[in-house]
């Protein structure tokens, strides 16, 4: 892997398209000057935007296409209409061809996942992909997966997710042996938890390098920071994520309303403004932007569709760290079913180079 991190951007993805992508890339470049970009999208829209960012212009190559996946395209539509030619496909394809180390898109999740799976294929030893993201906690941050790539998971798939999540945590948090918990519910002797229980048995009895298994954790333990990595299947994971976002919003709305109710409250707000700024910063969804598609033969990052340049830069930064700290290699050395098989490690490091 060259020292320079090469990032392919789907310039047409997201609610705001190139305006946010270009400005976000410029911010990300300031943060990590050892980055080069491939910008894929409509040249007539991108060129004028690049003119305002000479440094970025010098560090990027533009690949023109006038096909873009729409935010409401179904995955099958996106594949049918956008394969080989859309900005989303071509950004992923740059990773496939070894021209980029990571692809970042704010386009629609289903389409991005479908194209990434179709083009990059799965890592050897992993059955299916998962979406992982950072989650703010009282202690800092943790990683939660799967946030909706698949619904349901058997024990082996949950263990795979523990492996992939721990690799991501080692990259992002620089931990040697992250704590990993399985999301579960507190009711005893309820039927239907067989997969989660069996995954727990495997993680307890067949200890994996780089995983400190801490057992079951409940929904309220995520925000407490009880584990560095929280593993669950995609239905519950997606609902947990969205519910947490909704609750944070609700809290902020109540607070705003309550403060608007009297002149004294407003004055108090002015005095305590740095505190509110600290709160906003801590709960800022832009800081946690960047869902990582794990399990693929390449690194693909999904940014929130509605984010601003700062949020998009955060997603690029997640991709940058994944590449610099060799996420794929870290996953491969921990994959349980293939532990010690050198050809797997070779195949993986080949794909990631």
**Contact set for a copy of itself, span 195-224 (CB under 8 A):** 218-224
Q: 171 near 181, Cβ under 8 Å?
A: no
Nearest approach, Cβ of residue 304 and a copy of itself (Å): 12
Site residues for a copy of itself, window 19-48 (CB under 8 A)? none
**Torsion angle (degrees, nearest 10) of CA 112, 117, 122, 123:** -30
- 181 pairs with which residues across the strands? 215, 230
Binding-residue total with a copy of itself (CB under 8 A): 75
Nearest approach, Cβ of residue 217 and a copy of itself (Å): 10
Q: 148 near 131, Cβ under 8 Å?
A: yes
Q: Does 262 bind a copy of itself (CB under 8 A)?
A: yes
Answer for which of 98, 152, 207, 306 binds a copy of itself (CB under 8 A) is 152
Q: Does 253 bind a copy of itself (CB under 8 A)?
A: yes
Q: Does 136 bind a copy of itself (CB under 8 A)?
A: yes
State which H helix or E strand residue 178 sits in: none
Closest CA to 334 of 351, 348, 350: 348
Answer for which of 46, 143, 183, 335 binds a copy of itself (CB under 8 A) is 183
Q: 228 near 180, Cβ under 8 Å?
A: yes
Nearest approach, Cβ of residue 267 and a copy of itself (Å): 5
Identity of the residue, 62 or 248, whose beta carbon is nearer to a copy of itself in the bound complex: 248
Site residues for a copy of itself, window 268-307 (CB under 8 A)? 268-276, 278-279, 282-283
Q: 74 near 110, Cβ under 8 Å?
A: yes
Q: What is the DSSP string of 30-65?
A: HH-SSEEEEEEE-HHHHHHHHHT-HHHHHTEEEEE-
Determine the Cα–Cα distance for residues 136 and 140; give it in Å rounded to an integer. 6
Nearest approach, Cβ of residue 164 and a copy of itself (Å): 18
Structure tokens given for 239: 């609902």
Nearest approach, Cβ of residue 257 and a copy of itself (Å): 8
Site residues for a copy of itself, window 65-94 (CB under 8 A)? 74-76
Nearest approach, Cβ of residue 131 and a copy of itself (Å): 9
């Amino acid at each position: 892997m060259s020292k320079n991190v090469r990032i392919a951007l789907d310039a047409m993805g997201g609610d705001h398209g190139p305006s946010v992508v270009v400005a976000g890339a410029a911010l990300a470049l300031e943060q990590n000057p050892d980055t080069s970009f491939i910008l894929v999208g409509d040249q007539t829209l991108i060129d004028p935007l690049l003119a305002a960012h000479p440094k970025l212009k010098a560090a990027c190559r533009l690949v023109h296409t006038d096909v873009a996946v729409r935010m409401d395209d179904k995955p099958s539509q996106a594949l049918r209409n956008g394969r080989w030619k859309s900005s989303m496909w071509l950004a992923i394809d740059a990773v496939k061809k070894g021209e980029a180390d990571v692809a970042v898109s704010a386009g629609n999740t289903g389409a991005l996942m479908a194209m990434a799976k179709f083009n990059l294929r799965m890592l050897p030893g992993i059955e299916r992909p998962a979406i992982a993201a950072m989650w703010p906690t009282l202690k800092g941050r943790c990683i939660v997966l799967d946030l909706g790539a698949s619904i349901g998971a058997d024990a082996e798939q949950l263990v795979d997710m523990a492996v992939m999540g721990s690799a991501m945590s080692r990259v992002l948090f620089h931990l040697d042996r992250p704590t990993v918990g399985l999301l579960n519910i507190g009711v005893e002797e309820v039927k239907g938890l067989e997969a989660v229980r069996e995954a727990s048995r495997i993680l307890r009895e067949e200890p994996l390098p780089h995983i400190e298994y801490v057992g079951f954790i409940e929904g309220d333990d995520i925000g407490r920071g009880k584990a560095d990595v929280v593993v669950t299947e995609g239905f519950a994971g997606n609902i947990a994520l969205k519910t947490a976002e909704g609750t944070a919003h609700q809290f902020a709305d109540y607070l705003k309303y309550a403060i608007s109710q009297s002149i004294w409250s407003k004055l108090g707000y002015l005095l305590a403004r740095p505190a509110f700024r600290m709160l906003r910063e801590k709960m800022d969804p832009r800081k946690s932007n960047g869902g990582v598609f794990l399990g693929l033969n390449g690194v693909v990052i999904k940014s929130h569709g509605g984010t601003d340049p700062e949020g998009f830069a955060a997603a690029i930064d997640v991709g940058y760290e994944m590449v610099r700290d060799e996420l794929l290699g870290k996953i491969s050395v921990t994959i349980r079913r293939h532990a010690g098989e050198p050809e797997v490690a070779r195949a993986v490091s080949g794909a990631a180079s």
